[in-house]
Structure 1
Amino acid sequence: MSVLSVLDPAVTVAHAVVSAIAHVLPTALAIVLFVLAVRLCLHPLARAAARGEKARSKLAPKVAELNKKHRNSPEKAREALAELYRKEQVSPFAGCLPMLVQIPFFSVMYRLFTTPNDLLDHTLFGVPLGLHVGNAHGAGQFAVFGLLYAGLAAVGYVNYRRARRAAAAAQTTPQPGAALLPYLSFASVLFAVLVPVAAGLYLLTTSVWSASERAWLYRGTNQAPAAALAL
């Protein structure tokens, strides 16, 4: 059984929920409200991930010191790090599990807004929600895509600035390829070009939520999430 088939029941339920909302509100607005509701339900997991990342960040100087001290003895380094995490009651993987648990939810929403279904027959400002930019024609349709891309680019810029500030505050030895990481903030713009309007609307909504959520959870610090799910 494939992963896609396992997600089918969840996609069906999600479709039913969005359809129910769309009976009283425009479908595009129903999509936005559904995504916001899902992200609100997942917020406790995001909080747990933030706590884990902050705990690991706090221990980072000690971890670096132990690695340097035992750089010629990997076995002693592992033992020392294990003792440090045990003493501080912090898991080296703290924050990772809550993030991984969210992946199925994002996968369900992505499938719902990219797989052909009756929801995508509705429109946003007269543009079909199932339309891809490659099939667009007329100023009106391109304007809708332009607004979606502009919104994603704006959120990407906010995330980019935060990532740059976090990197500067860390003042650690740059790792290979680290300089390119902040630019991944704009990946959603490139991805949006490949998906229909409905998925673009989903990406914009969830990206705005993620940026706002990170700003709140990491307020007062220069730390940025090591891996942020925005899809």
Structure 2
Amino acid sequence: MPCPTRRVVDFRELLERPSRSSEFHPCGGRRATRRRPLIPSPSGELFVDPFAFGPFQAVLDFAYSAVAALGTALAPFAGASSAALAIALATVIVRIAMLPLGIAAAKSSAAARRLAPQVAELRRRHSKNPERMQRELATLYRDAGTSPVAGCLPLLAQAPLVAVIYAIFTRPEIHGGLNSLLADGLAGVPLGIPLGHTVFSGAIDPASVVVMLIAVLSITLAAELSRRLALRLAPPSLPAPEPAPGQPVMPTPSPGMMRALGFAPYLSLVAAVFVPFAATIYMAISALWGVGERWILARRYARVV
């Protein structure tokens, strides 16, 4: 039996097909197909919703219930701004919970600066033997009681938290009902609508302009301070070791690439325009807290600022 001609099927067409446990293809054997939970993206496309699965959904429901309960408790004092205040307090609680990871990152940065001369010497001495060099570097870091990857812990730990927070502040329905956190606003700025949409809609007043400017300027200030602090806390640049015979020369980053990476913190400012204002509040407070935390811990451990 001749094999039928294969054709390219659009992804959206596949999503619209009814789900089947399996189907038989004469040339490809048995192929399993399953229907996955899908949600629309801002552009109208469909993508897999990770929070539709049991454990992730339970985490999202718990986080939403906690923030919503905090907003309800603050309602007698903050009125219509209780949801925004609950978001701010929840952000502070999350940052305090991550403080031990920030301390570990500060200690790792201080150790990297302290060990930089020894690392350079080991790389020069064992440049012809990469395996020996890696063993010696591992021993050096182990004896110093640190790890070169400790500085990545806050970022790795914050990623799932940011995903949950973003899901809370962007979903119109959570926990089987409407998302009450997006129904309120702050000085006339709706929490469930992005700043860019609010500005171009024209439905703003002087109080709303002040609130939006404070949020944008806070993220801008935090991005610039974070960029400058990263330059001061960066370990001294080390010369590239000579490659072993027959090994290619490792490329070094160009100055232009390093300057471009220095402006990476400003990407959060671009994101703040397109995410709901509730997420912008989280980003502004978290960014200011983060740069202040790094500055204080750098003075405590690195002593370079």
Q: Flag the 1:100–1:194 CA change in 2: closer, same or farther, 3 A.
A: same
Aligned counterparts of 2:109 and 2:292: Cα–Cα separation in 1:
17
* Native 8 Å contact 1:46 1:99 kept in 2: no
Q: What CA deviation, in whole Å up to 9, does each residue of 1:197-218 have, x standing for no partner?
A: 1010010111111111111111
* Native 8 Å contact 2:95 2:289 kept in 1: yes
Q: Flag the 1:194–1:40 CA change in 2: closer, same or farther, 3 A.
A: same
Q: Secondary structure at the match of 2:193?
A: coil
Structure with greater proportional helix content = 1
Q: What CA deviation, in whole Å up to 9, does each residue of 1:169-190 have, x standing for no partner?
A: 8355683322222211212111
Aligned counterparts of 1:100 and 1:114: Cα–Cα separation in 2:
22
Which range moved further: 142-151 or 200-209?
A: 142-151
What is residue 14 of structure 1 aligned with on the other side? Answer: 63
Q: Does 1:133 align with 2:189?
A: no
* Native 8 Å contact 1:21 1:30 kept in 2: yes
Aligned counterparts of 2:122 and 2:110: Cα–Cα separation in 1:
19
Superposition RMSD in Å:
2.6
Q: Does 1:199 align with 2:291?
A: no
* Native 8 Å contact 2:113 2:236 kept in 1: no
Aligned counterparts of 1:30 and 1:99: Cα–Cα separation in 2:
23
Q: How many residue pairs get matched?
A: 223
1:144: how far off? 3.5
1:125: how far off? 0.4
1:192: how far off? 0.4
Runs of 4+ in 1 over 6 A off after TM superposition: none
Q: Does 1:219 align with 2:299?
A: yes
Aligned counterparts of 2:59 and 2:260: Cα–Cα separation in 1:
36
What is residue 229 of structure 1 aligned with on the other side? Answer: none
1:63: how far off? 1.3
- Structure having the higher Rg: 2
Q: Does 1:58 align with 2:58?
A: no
Among 245, 253, 256, the alignment partner of 1:175 is 253
Q: Secondary structure at the match of 1:138?
A: coil
Q: Does 1:40 align with 2:92?
A: no
* Native 8 Å contact 2:227 2:265 kept in 1: yes
Q: Flag the 1:214–1:98 CA change in 2: closer, same or farther, 3 A.
A: closer
Aligned counterparts of 1:114 and 1:33: Cα–Cα separation in 2:
18
Structure with greater proportional strand content = 2
Q: Secondary structure at the match of 1:23?
A: helix
What is residue 228 of structure 1 aligned with on the other side? Answer: none
Q: Secondary structure at the match of 2:147?
A: coil
Q: Flag the 1:180–1:199 CA change in 2: closer, same or farther, 3 A.
A: same
